[in-house]
Amino acid sequence: MPVPPPKDTPVLCLDTCAILDIMRDPTRETIRIHEHEASLTLLRAAESDKKLIVLVADHVREEFGGNADNVQAEAKRAIVKFQNRLDELNALTGLYGSSRQIDASHWEDHELRCREVADRWLKVGDSISHSDQILSRASSRSIQARSPARKGKDSIKDCVILETYLDRVRKLREDGLTAPIVFVSSNTRDYAELSEGEAEVRNDIKDEFESLELEYAPNMAAAKHFLKF
């Protein structure tokens, strides 16, 4: 039985996509620098005398292992494409008399550095396994199409991940933990709906989150805010 964290230590529950987001194509238009800054701030807090407790469900580790290499490879291809484009632009401006060049050498191995950070998140996280009871609750959630499940979508793994965290958070609250607890997932399609431009947890699971004083964060920046770092 794991030792519960101190009552004033905040807790972060990681979904798979929140870790993979660190590694995704860095040239995409949707990238947000402050989210990466928040991720690194929280990671350092978790690695520094456990100022932040990180929980990682076993299914999250499995999903990361099954997807990380592909995400890393996609990021590498995007970086090479970006570098090649800069080379072309440098050549074009050179033809018209400019001696200035854009140096993109610092992009070399960027995808490897991002992978190292993602691996650090998994290393610092406390593993949580699921019980038969959790599997049963996840199955019921999926059959009833309650978030993160949806009709016509195989959502059992997502349901197991959520039920695993709900079970652990319930135990932490029963043990007297009063600090903020946040579940972070950029899978807003399955977990969130917009309210005045902000992503909030879906109505059909809102009561579950509120009863446990569990916050939903669509990205690391929001998680950092809720965790008060």
Bridge partners, residue 183, by sequence: 13, 216
Q: Which residues contact 18 (CB under 8 A, 6 or more apart)?
A: 184, 185, 186, 219, 220, 223
Could you tell me the pLDDT band of residue 199, with boundaries at 50, 70 and 90? Answer: confident
Higher pLDDT, 174 or 1: 174
| SS3 track for 109-160 | CHHHHHHHHHHHHHHHCEEECCCHHHHHHHHHHHHCCCCCCCCCCCCHHHHH
What does the pLDDT read at residue 116? Answer: 98
Could you tell me the pLDDT band of residue 25, with boundaries at 50, 70 and 90? Answer: very high
Could you tell me the pLDDT band of residue 2, with boundaries at 50, 70 and 90? Answer: low
pLDDT tens digit sequence for 79-101? 999 999 999 999 999 999 999 99
pTM of the model: 0.93
Proportion of the chain above pLDDT 70, given as a percent: 98
Provide the 8-state DSSP code for 10: -
Architecture of the 11-67+109-227 domain: 3-Layer(aba) Sandwich (3.40)
What does the pLDDT read at residue 198? Answer: 85
Q: Which residues contact 177 (CB under 8 A, 6 or more apart)?
A: 4, 5, 7, 9, 11
Mean pLDDT, range 165-192, rounded to an integer: 96
On whether the CB atoms of residues 112 and 10 are closer than 8 A, the answer is no
Sorted by where each begins, the domain ranges of the chain are 11-67+109-227
Q: Which residues contact 136 (CB under 8 A, 6 or more apart)?
A: none
What does the pLDDT read at residue 143? Answer: 93
Whether residue 5 has a cis bond before it, omega within 30° of 0 = no
Greatest Cα-to-Cα distance within the chain, rounded to the nearest angstrom: 71
- Rounded to whole angstroms, the Cα distance separating 204 from 67 reads 29
On whether the CB atoms of residues 222 and 35 are closer than 8 A, the answer is no
Taking the CB of residue 87, how many other CB atoms lie within 10 A of it? 13
CA 53 to chain centre: 15
pLDDT tens digit sequence for 46-92? 999 789 999 999 999 999 999 999 999 999 999 999 999 999 999 99
For 184, the 3-state DSSP assignment is strand
pLDDT value at 229 more than 90: yes
Could you tell me the pLDDT band of residue 3, with boundaries at 50, 70 and 90? Answer: low
When the pLDDT of each residue in the chain is averaged and rounded to a whole number, the result is: 94
